[in-house]
Every structure is written in structure tokens, then in C-alpha cells.
Amino acid sequence: DPDCGRTALDSPLAGRSAPLLQRLDRSMSSVTIPPPACMLKPLEAPLRYLFGPGPSNVPPRVLAAGGRPIIGHLHPEMYEIMNDIKKGIQYAFQTENNMTISMSGSGHAAMECAVFNTVEPGESVLVAINGIWGERVAEIAERMGANVHRMVKSPGGYFSNKEIEQAVEKHKPVLFFLTHGESSAGLCHPVDGIGDICRKHNCLFLVDTVASLGAAPIFMDKQNIDILYTGSQKALNAPPGTAPISFNERACHKMFNRKTKPVSYLFDMTHLSNYWGCDGEPARLYHHTGPVSGFFALRESLAILAEKGLEESWRKHKEVAAYLYRGLEDLGLKLFDLRLPSVTTIAIPEGYNWRELLTYIMKHHQMEMTGGLGPSIGMVMRIGLMGYNCEKTNADMALHALADALKTCKKSKA
């Protein structure tokens, strides 16, 4: 210890004048902003049924994992937990990719990491937009200087493989983005064959599964997806704040042979790959302090998925979603095609103010459902039954709350 054996006389302040010490004491005691009254009260958070598009309710087992005592982010035991998380993500993604990690941040962190690391300023990027997430990726890519080309459809619209290939041939992108689970529109977009198109034209295929992972089948390796990411807070049922992501060899070749550094230091995969033990180096070096409690919770949520099995998770979400669809149709509500099992969108019932319906449901049933997001605002209402919440009893509760709102709220157009 470099300070071992030092005394007060060795202090940098030793020998300083008494007035200086008085000024230091005075500066430490001259607090002019009092403690805020709200911070002198205990934390209060209501118990709610989170039946919206996420976050979803977290099972007690995951909450307990997140509440375990903190350990250091560079401790050997933490590295073992991170190694477990990597294996859990590989199972959930159905990939053998070595470059598999979790971001210290929400799904947007993984979204930015994917774009920032694989695209350089001036390069062409093609984005399929049929909801808010394509809009976000397009803006992220433009902000870092990419030449962005947009394929745009109305919320929930479907892109055929022919349309995608024609756009790839025309714009010659280095990266093509598609949302698998478009939660703003309740769409689960087909993925088969698109990875083959991207390989044929030397383009990386980036897929967002934040709202779909664990609820709808996805096979990263079999479907030739080059970069795949998700979020922790939906069907995985962990608290928000971590985001699994994986890069295959094609993506790594592009990522680690850049002419310029990525615009973000925090999201630079050169450093993150070392932090996660993916770069083959014997030592993991400090890059940033990862969310230790968040990683505890993510590991537990991935363990629950592994115990249940992907096929069973997919089956359960499909079964409960079908049960919910029947109940919604019995209420006279209109649904959309290509439905996402985890998030169901319904057309706003004619003559009703959708904000009034949702406010009533929250107030009288302590239940969150939401309106649209981005381009789907004012078009739809959304119900999410994911992971821990994916039960027919919860579907019955949601249907009861909706029926009550439709009966009680006045028919008056928003």
C-alpha cells in the first residue's frame, strides 16, 4: 500500500496555514441547497400488472437474483457469471457465435452498437421501416454519417423477399436492417431467405428481436443472420438495462477491419469483446463498470428460459396469444395479420377515445396497456403477455378490464 506508514504530518496539507484549513472547513460546511423533502421519504412504487409492450412483470426468482450482494465487475466470479450469460444468449439466439455479449444498457444500446461497429461514414445502409424501430435505426445510422436508404411501409406492413433483394441490388448497402418483432405494430416479420439474399450481395443482415425473442422462433445461424440483438425486459423477464447481442464471423470481419474508429468509445466492440472474454486474450482489461446486479438478473432469466426450453416457451406464447385473440374478437375488436405472439395490437374501437380507455384500465384495474408508438400512435392499442405474464389467467384479466372499459367509457371520438 503506497500510503502505508504515512502520518498526518506527511499529508499534503501539513504545514499549510491555519487560514487555509479554516477555508477548507468552511467550504465543506457551507451547504446552501437543503436536502429535498421527497428524498427524506421512503421509496414507493405501486404494484401493477404490466400488460403492455414492456417492461413485463419480473418473476420473484429474477428479482431475488438482482438483489444478491454486489461483487466487483472484474472479479473472477463475475467473469464466470458473464460466461454463463454468453452461453445462455447463444442458446436463446440458437447460435455458436463466439462474439456474443450483453450490452450495459437497454435495447437501444445494442441497436447503436450494431450500427456504430459495422458501418463507417459514407457507407450505404438499407433500413426496412414498418414501425418505430426501423425509424430509429435509420436516424442512428444518419447521425454517424452513413448514407441511409429507407424502404417504408405503413405500420405492420410486410416486405417480400423480392422487394428486399431489389432494394439491396439498387442501393448496394453494407448493412440491411429488419425488425423481427415490431412491437409498435404487433408484427412478427418472416426472416427466412433474407440472410441468403444479403450474403449473395455481400451485405450484413441485422435483426432486432427485442419484442420477439423467447416468444417467436428465431434461428440466428440457420437463418444466416449476421447480427442479432434483443432486450432484457420483455419475454426474457429481467429488469430493463441489459441487451444481448451477437456477431457472426462475417460481421466480425467487417467490424475489426475498419479504416476509422467507431464513433462511440463505450460501444466499441474492440474493447467490449475483451471485457467479455471473446477476443482470445488471456487478460480482461477494464473498459467500463458493467451493471453487476443487472447481469445477475439477466443470468437468472436466461437460466429460466433454458430450464423451460425454447420450444416450450414459443408454444406457450402462441397458445396464450391465440386464447387472447379469440377473447378480443368476441369483444368485437379488430386484429391485424402477421401477429407477434408477445404483443397484440388491436384497432382502436370506433367512437372511443383510446387515452380514456387506457386511463380507465390503469385507474380501476391497476393494469398497463398502451396506445401506439411512433407511426402507429392513434391507430392501435397494444396488449403484451410475455414470459412470466404469459398465462391464460392474465389474458382473462386483460379481457375483463377491456370489457369493463368499453362498457363504462363514453363513446366520443378522440
In tens, the pLDDT along 32-49 reads 999 999 999 999 999 999
What per-residue confidence (pLDDT) applies to 337? 81
Q: Write the secondary structure of 45-68 as one string of H (helix), E (strand) and C (coil).
A: CCCCEECCCCCCCCCHHHHHHHCC
pLDDT tens-digit profile of 226-260?
A: 999 999 999 999 999 999 999 999 999 999 999 99
Q: Report the percent of the chain where pLDDT is more than 70.
A: 94
- pTM score, whole prediction: 0.92
- Distance, in Å, from the CA atom of 47 to the CA atom of 44, rounded to the nearest integer, reads 10
Residue 183 has pLDDT above 50, yes or no: yes
Joined grid coordinates for residue 248 = 457472426
pLDDT at 20: 75
The per-residue pLDDT for range 270-306, each reduced to its tens digit, is 999 999 999 999 999 999 999 999 999 999 999 999 9
pLDDT value of residue 288:
97
CA distance 390 to 342: 8
Has residue 414 got a pLDDT over 50?
no
The reported pLDDT for the residue numbered 368 is: 98
Pick out the residues of the known binding site for substrate. 382
With respect to CATH, is domain 310-408 assigned 3.40.50.970? no
Query: Which residue do the cell numbers 424502404 mark?
Result: 151
List the chain domain ranges. 60-308, 310-408
Distance (Å) of CA 6 to CA 14, 24, 30, 86: 12, 22, 30, 45
- Residue ranges at the known binding site: 382
Helix (H) or strand (E) holding 74, with range, is none
How is domain 60-308 classified at the CATH fold level? Aspartate Aminotransferase; domain 2 (3.40.640)
- Share the mean pLDDT of the chain: 94
Single-letter amino acid, residue 151: M
